[in-house]
Copies of this chain bind each other. A is one copy, B any other.
Amino acid sequence: MLNIIGLGLRGTKSITLESFEVMKSCDSVYFETYTSISPGSTMADLRNALGRKLLEAGRDFIESEKDIIDESRDTKVCLLVTGDPLSATTHNQLRLDAMKAGVEVRIFENSSIISVIPGVFGLMHYRFGPPVSIPFVSRSFFPTSVYDKIEKNISMDLHTLLLLDLKDGKTMPVQEAVRILEELERRRKGRILEPERDICVAIAVSQPGQRLVFGTMGSIKKSGVEGNPAALVLPSTLNDSEETFLNEFAERL
C-alpha cells in the first residue's frame, strides 16, 4: 500500500494526527524534496520523530518511482510531500502508475501555499485568478507567456499568486523575481508591471520567520527585502475589507 502524505508548511509540526499514525506504521518512509521546500530541519526532525531512517526522493524522484511502486506491492510505504500531496502533477502521475500496477493508494491532504497565502494577507479566494509560476530565466530561455497569464488576470480585475521556482532547496530570491517582472515589462512594452504597481511579498509563511510586506514594485526593489521560502501576490483593485486587512496584516514598505 502506498500512502502519499502531505506535511503542510511547518515540517513535522504540521503533520496531522492521522498521518503521523500512518507514518509510524509504515515499513519504509520516503521524503520527497524535489517539488517543494520544507523548513530546514525537517529531515532530521522526521528522523527523530519516527526513530528511523528516511529515504530521500530528490532530483531522481521520477526515476525512483518504479522502486517506490514495487515496494508498495507487498509492504506499507509512505511518501512524504511538503504542502499538499496532490498539487504537483508528478504526484498524481505516481498515484496513477501505482493504481495501474495494482497497488492501493491512500492520499492524506494538508495545507498548501496556494490556499494559505490569500488568507494571511486578508485577500479573498474568489478574487484570485489562476496562479502563475515564475521560472528561472537565462539568455536562451525567457518565456513571455508568464506575462500573458498575469495580463489576463489583471484584465479581469483578479489577484495573481506568483509562485517562485526552486533551486538548491530555496525559492528564487524575491529581488530576482522582481527583476524578471521588470524585464518582462520591458520586452513586452506593456503597462502592467510598472514601478508604481503594488506587490505583496510573503516570506516563510506559517514558519517562525514569517514576514508579510507590501509596497510598489519600486519600493520592494529599493528595500532589498529577501527571505526563503517566498511567494508574491500581484493584487488587483482591493475591495474595502481587503484594503483594511492588507494594511493591518502586512507591513507597508
22 contacts between A and B (CB under 8 A): A6-B111, A8-B109, A9-B109, A10-B18, A14-B18, A15-B16, A16-B17, A17-B17, A86-B120, A89-B241, A96-B244, A96-B249, A100-B248, A109-B111, A109-B116, A109-B120, A109-B206, A111-B111, A115-B115, A126-B133, A129-B130, A152-B156
Q: Is A3 at the interface (CB under 8 A from chain B)? A: no
Closest residue of chain B to A18, judged by CB?
A: B13
Give the residues from 10 to 59 in chain A that come closer than 8 angstroms, CB to CB, to chain B: 10, 12-18, 20
**Interfacial chain B residues near A10, Cβ < 8 Å:** 16, 18
Complex CA distance for A16 and B11, rounded to whole angstroms? 11
Interface flags for A88-101 (1: CB within 8 Å of B; 0: not) read 01001101100110
**Interfacial chain B residues near A12, Cβ < 8 Å:** 17
Interface size band for A: 35 or more
Q: Is A192 at the interface (CB under 8 A from chain B)? A: no
Complex CA distance for A118 and B116, rounded to whole angstroms? 15
Interface flags for A105-116 (1: CB within 8 Å of B; 0: not) read 001111110111
Q: Is A85 at the interface (CB under 8 A from chain B)? A: yes
A16 interface neighbour in B8, B126, B241, Cβ under 8 Å? B8
**Interfacial chain B residues near A126, Cβ < 8 Å:** 130-133
Closest residue of chain B to A91, judged by CB?
A: B119
Closest residue of chain B to A156, judged by CB?
A: B152
Q: Is A188 at the interface (CB under 8 A from chain B)? A: no
Q: Is A124 at the interface (CB under 8 A from chain B)? A: yes
Q: Is A167 at the interface (CB under 8 A from chain B)? A: no
